Structure 1
């Protein structure tokens, strides 16, 4: 029996196998962030045949001040919903399920793109991007929490199968989670529970916006791989709280290290993180990181390192990768 070809039932969401296409920025959206023909063609090609059970759409900005790069997808206002409906339909017609990732860049934003000083938990230089943000007030934090909820409501209105909250790769929520960038002395700083207070508020607001049945994923940068940064133990505490708060799937990646680990190229290099998180939660965990062979994905599942496998760059380079992987395991 193949672990990779095993279906997964998660509430109302049925996944035909354990293969996931993780979010990867394409910079193919229109300049205003709306869905473009290039985006539609890209996801149509990647989802063809339904060999990938779940496609997670690249990070989309929830507020103009949280825009990470040119031609990034927007989920920041209601005018984008019509185009996104088309995107969800293109993927559904190919037989795959699809979730949209919502994000705020925080201090990873660039002034020349957003037209103002970026914001963050503390006025501390972003270790990945280099900019020094303006520290947010409590009131502004509340406004960003509300923007996450409004974005999730739009994702649901556009017909997606779930929403993923982005807290990895040194972006906004990751900046609150990491002691490298969160030096606040109020209730949003300090220990892990203080640093994830905003996450729990976002999860609660998103859940209220989408209802009880709509799947919520959270992408967690489970370690910064840097002195003084987030640790595996922090992530275990956080993951337990996220599950209690109503997250349905945890998607593991890196923190300020981004989507890689310096000096580690083995397939499934985030496996120690996903396995540690899997030990403390009962919800499914997604593992990504340098996986290029179906047999490696199969082995990682068999060893209990994760419940779902994300294959990014291999699918980016070869749209037939998932088809070949599935057929090789069926034969």
Structure 2
């Protein structure tokens, strides 16, 4: 039996196979995060033939304060909806599904990128990886505004015709900064134990689902371990993912926390598989595993051995637009 080419049916987001093109920033947007011709051509090339079951579009900022880099795509205002529609249509006409990842950078940015806006985070602690300026701790009122920003962005994603939306809480961005004890030293309801540190996540999920409806798929990318002393651990994530499933998350996309998209000291294909394997023990929703996967045989084995339900192949498909076609044809 083959696995990568099997459909995903037991989920709100049905897919024709288990292959995922994970979010990777292209820095190809123009102006204030508008969809450019270059973006449309890039995703058209990558999705041609419909060999990839799901595209998760690169993280896009929900507010200018949360912009992570120059050339990043925007879901921060209604003026971008028409461009986003063209992007969704491009992928759909080629036969794949498309989900948009929405994000706030928190302290993982600087004033040059946010045009002078304050650098903010869960607590006034400098970003452990990027070492930008010390951020200002967000007030509860500001947290409410950011929750609204996520809600509004999710509605734009749905209005643009995407098949789902993914909330980004990995790679050291704002929601990851709330999740990790490295950067969350709050003493109010948004800090403390795991349940306190994911309160903002649960409130965002609730707000998003209120505006997109129960039938629209909502994914969450979780930095499931910081792989740093005193950072988040898989034991934290086993607690968190149960709450996310209860809150209505449909698919969990597993990656690293402040270690980024790499797993220090772990090599081989699917190097986050120890995280997905542990997470799959406690939740029943599908899980995506990405990390160093370049060969069809490795992807097949990761699914066959129960370490994941869906496989993200990033750099291999970035370098070779025919990777997915060759992979699926090899499984016939």
- What's the TM-score, normalizing by structure 1? 0.99
CA distance in 2, matches of 1:18, 1:12: 14
Quote how far apart the aligned CAs of 1:10 are.
4.4
CA distance in 2, matches of 1:10, 1:84: 28
CA distance in 1, matches of 2:189, 2:292: 37
In structure 1, the partner of 2:300 is 298
SS for the counterpart of 2:14 is: strand
Quote how far apart the aligned CAs of 1:12 are.
4.4
In structure 2, the partner of 1:184 is 186
Q: Deviations over 1:248-284 (max 9, x none)?
A: 0000000000000123331000000011111100100
In structure 2, the partner of 1:322 is 324
In structure 2, the partner of 1:240 is 242
CA distance in 1, matches of 2:317, 2:260: 19
The answer as to whether partners of 2:12 and 2:250 remain within 8 angstroms in 1 is no
The answer as to whether partners of 1:192 and 1:238 remain within 8 angstroms in 2 is yes
Quote how far apart the aligned CAs of 1:110 are.
1.1
Q: Deviations over 1:136-189 (max 9, x none)?
A: 000000000010000000000000000000000000000000000000000000
In structure 2, the partner of 1:257 is 259
Indicate whether 1:127 and 2:109 are aligned: no
Quote how far apart the aligned CAs of 1:11 are.
4.4
The 5 A counterparts of 1:1-331 are 1-114=1-114, 115-131=116-132, 132-330=134-332
Where does the alignment leave 5 or more consecutive residues of structure 2 unmatched?
Answer: none
SS for the counterpart of 1:100 is: strand
CA distance in 2, matches of 1:27, 1:36: 10
RMSD: 0.8
CA distance in 2, matches of 1:173, 1:290: 24
The answer as to whether partners of 2:205 and 2:249 remain within 8 angstroms in 1 is yes
CA distance in 2, matches of 1:299, 1:274: 14
SS for the counterpart of 1:44 is: helix
Q: Deviations over 1:68-102 (max 9, x none)?
A: 00010000010000000000000000000000000
CA distance in 2, matches of 1:257, 1:11: 30
Q: Deviations over 1:177-202 (max 9, x none)?
A: 00000000000000000000000000
Query: Stretches of 4+ moved more than 6 A in 1?
Result: none
The answer as to whether partners of 2:2 and 2:300 remain within 8 angstroms in 1 is yes
The answer as to whether partners of 1:11 and 1:213 remain within 8 angstroms in 2 is no
The answer as to whether partners of 2:63 and 2:76 remain within 8 angstroms in 1 is yes
Where does the alignment leave 5 or more consecutive residues of structure 1 unmatched?
Answer: none
Aligned length: 330
- What's the TM-score, normalizing by structure 2? 0.98
The answer as to whether partners of 1:31 and 1:70 remain within 8 angstroms in 2 is no
CA distance in 2, matches of 1:198, 1:106: 13
The answer as to whether partners of 2:111 and 2:118 remain within 8 angstroms in 1 is yes
